Amino acid sequence: LDKNEHRSTNFRQMNPLHQVPTLDDNGFFLTDSHAIISYLATNSNLMSNDRRLQARINQLLFFDFELFKIFCEIGVSFSIEK
Ligand SMILES: N[C@@H](CCC(=O)N[C@@H](CS)C(=O)NCC(=O)O)C(=O)O
């Protein structure tokens, strides 16, 4: 980012929004960190076969980080169980 490589023509061909992270899996370009994590984890030993556990993983991936920061500021604690 410091060198503005993400704004180069080559990078924009992978991601017109010129954002990182951007995955290049042998010409398959994928953007958005959560989509990339999900793609890499699918069919690997990183992802559970348990449907409910998968749902919890997705819950954490899709959790709104801005909301998390607000929770921290007001001191809300919570736990996530299977
Ligand atoms: N929703 C995207 C957001 C990606 C994003 O905001 N990337 C920022 C860095 S954290 C970026 O590449 N900024 C450079 C720019 O927009 O020019 C994701 O989760 O991957």
Interval 22-78: pLDDT, tens: 999 999 999 999 899 999 999 999 888 999 999 998 888 888 777 777 877 887 776
Ligand 1 atom closest to Cα of 36? 20
Query: DSSP strand E in 1-82: where?
Result: 22-25, 28-31
Q: Which protein residue's CA is at the shortest distance from atom 18 of ligand 1?
A: 32
Given a cut of 90, whether residue 15 has pLDDT beyond it is yes
Given a cut of 90, whether residue 7 has pLDDT beyond it is yes
* Ligand 1 contact via 8 beta carbon (within 6 Å): no
